[in-house]
Amino acid sequence: MAVVLAAGKGTRMRSKTPKVLHKVGGLAMVDHVLAAARSAGAAKAALVVGPDAPWAAGRGSDTVSVHVQAEQKGTGDAVLAAKEAFAGADAVVVLYGDNPLVTAATIDRMLDRVLGGADLAVLAFRTDAPVGYGRIILSESGNVVAIREEKDASPEERAITLCNSGVMAIRAGAPLDALSAIKANNAKGEYYLTDLVEIGAARGFNMVWEEAPFSEVMGCNDRAQLAEAEAEFQRRARAKALETATLIDPATVYFSHDTVIGEDVTIEPNVVFGPKVAVGDGAKILAFCHLTETVISPGASVGPFARSRGGAAIGPGAKIGNFVELKNAALATGVKVSHLTYLGDASVGEEANIGAGTITCNYDGVNKHRTEIGAGAFIGSNSALVAPVSIGEGAFVASGSVITEDVPADALAIARGRQATKPDRSPLASGRDTAKRASKG
């Protein structure tokens, strides 16, 4: 069982967006935490929010319950706000909605400790700059005996570099019941979860600790820390991608939380992956591409300077060249769209060739319409296909055409004004004659 605390107001973000909804890797921080808990095997989660959190309703489900902390009275009070959810649970791990980088492996280790016999497990981290963090005090045997806030610590305790992350796992029974013994006898009049350690020490609890790197437990209280979390997320995502793909300049490639990269993929510099992108084996993503909601099949090539979005699908071996934009377009095997083209709300059959400057005119100002291009069709450069329209298999659209009617299979369609040539009527020639006369005068 996981309890995710997300009731903080996040005033330091200076944003109308609730703090935990700010995104890292394209996903709200609180959703990162819920996903990590789920991956760790926590069958259920309780999300604790403030009294004005309409966003939380959409996250409630059979496995996620939503609970309101009516007043901001500290972390201990926040956990108790979800008490009905963890009744009957074997153990509870307390997580924070603004700690998006905590991993499933760490959560799993915390739960294992309390399910394996410990009453309480505290997640710690080490830092050479511990100012502002609570210090974890250990016994000679290495168990946790106290968490000392800096303002209450002695000079010797302040020198300790083992710090409290806030994440805690609590065994069912006496340890969980001890939450009710937390008192608000402090300057702020709040109920602190860390006081559970002091209560546990007095009651003889077996209290242990696990360690995680600071990069995993860092909180995001302002936009600078949010940027640091994003940088760490991207570092992890790049390392994962490099297991199967070649990144020419990893530091310039940006991934989403759900990007899927196949084997033997090559990704050139300055590529941005938005949400819902999957890249098949052997595909190439050339420099300066921006991709969202796109499936790229094995062996396809995209870019440079290409944009794809809105549910696009690029078939095996297809080629998408420079300055091509796809939106809700399905391209079959071997399609070539080499440059300077917009395909929106379109389907393109196998081995079709789309010439430079082609656009699908998919929007009439009110509704979107679809363009269908058959297998083996050839669309000449600088053509406009006014949807809804269908181009048959093997059809040929002459360059510069504006197509407003369906073109049958194997037909030639020409839809452009007839050229008229007027000898000696060029304005440039007229200007040159005037200049000559003026120079002679």
Q: What is the CA radius of gyration of the chain?
A: 31
Q: H-helix or E-strand containing 250?
A: none
Q: Which residues pair with 243 in a beta bridge?
A: none
Annotate 295-325 with DSSP letters as a single string: EE-TT-EE-SS-EEESSEEE-TT-EEEEEEE
Backbone φ and ψ of 214, nearest 5°: -55, -35
Cβ-contact 47, 66 below 8 angstroms: yes
Pick the catalytic residue: 22, 32, 67, 339?
339
Give the HSE-up count for residue 2: Cα atoms under 13 Å, Cβ half-sphere: 30
Question: Based on the number of CB atoms within 10 Å of its own CB, is 129 exposed (0-12), middle (13-18) or buried (19 or more)?
Answer: exposed
Amino acid letter, 98: D
22 is known as an active-site residue: no
C-alpha to C-alpha distance for 154 and 148, rounded to whole angstroms? 9
Query: Contact, 300 vs 282, CB < 8 A?
Result: no
Distance CA 184, CA 398 (A): 80
Q: With contact defined as beta carbons under 8 Å apart, do 69 and 78 qualify?
A: yes
Other C-beta atoms closer than 10 Å to the C-beta of 218 total 19
Which run of H or E residues covers position 220?
none
The span from the CA of 21 to the CA of 25, in Å, is 12
Token pair belonging to 154: 């002695």
Distance CA 158, CA 148 (A): 9
C-alpha–C-alpha distance, residues 297 and 378, integer Å: 22
| Omega before 388 within 30 of 0, i.e. cis | yes
The angle formed by the CA atoms of residues 263, 264 and 268, to the nearest 5 degrees, is 120
Residue pointed to by tokens 């944009």: 307
Q: 362, exposed or middle or buried, with CB in 10 Å at 0-12, 13-18, 19+?
A: buried
Return the active site residues: 339
